[in-house]
Amino acid sequence: MADLIVIAYDEESNAESAYNEIQKLQTDLVVELAGLALVKVDAEGKTHVSTPNSGSIIGLSAATGALFGTLLGLLFFIPFAGLVIGGAFGALFAGLDKTGVDSEFRNQVKSTVSAGKSAVVVYATKLTEDKFAAALAPFGGEVIKTSLSAEEERELAHDLSGN
């Protein structure tokens, strides 16, 4: 079971601090990350995404990286050229609606992470919730969370591959 967690912040500095803290929590084995991103939405509503650099502590496989990238794109309506073409895009949305990443979750993320706000997106395969929450409590933020079973992840990866 994987958790997809979006923590929205009014202050960009709090989002950046939380983002850095989550990377430390990965090192301390409080969270096992399949993906981590810092999302900033400027005053005009344009989305900017930062992810840990390739030399970071998060070792993503190509498939996991593509799945996380697609989830980010779908949550924040970020174009991802060449990844999903034509009808596969519709199939992926249909697949998402059968999982924890349904349209209600996506709409909640979109309305919470609006112009001028920032968010940290965490895709965790393992999580010690009490320690994770305690470490991030000083930064505040509004938490939006859903879970994906291993089967749902496999189905999304399958839909993403276009097979």
The Cα–Cα gap between 133 and 124 comes to: 13
- Identify the pLDDT of residue 147: 85
Of all residues in the chain, what percent carry a pLDDT higher than 90? 41
Q: Which residue has the higher pLDDT, 148 or 33?
A: 33
- Identify the pLDDT of residue 6: 93
Number of domains in the chain: 1
Q: pLDDT band for position 106 (50/70/90)?
A: confident
Of all helices (H) and strands (E), which one includes residue 50? strand 47-50
* Beta carbons within 10 angstroms of residue 148's beta carbon: 23
What are the residues whose beta carbons fall under 8 Å from the beta carbon of 64, sequence distance 6 or more? 34, 35
Query: In terms of Cα–Cα distance, which of 1, 3, 18 is closest to 142?
Result: 18
pTM of the model: 0.78
The Cα–Cα gap between 23 and 97 comes to: 30
Q: pLDDT band for position 99 (50/70/90)?
A: low
- Identify the pLDDT of residue 107: 86
The Cα–Cα gap between 100 and 96 comes to: 7
Average pLDDT value over all residues in the chain: 78
The Cα–Cα gap between 61 and 72 comes to: 16
When pLDDT is averaged across residues 149-162 and rounded to a whole number, the result is 70
Domain that holds residue 68: 2-161
Residue 57 has pLDDT above 60, yes or no: no
- Identify the pLDDT of residue 103: 77
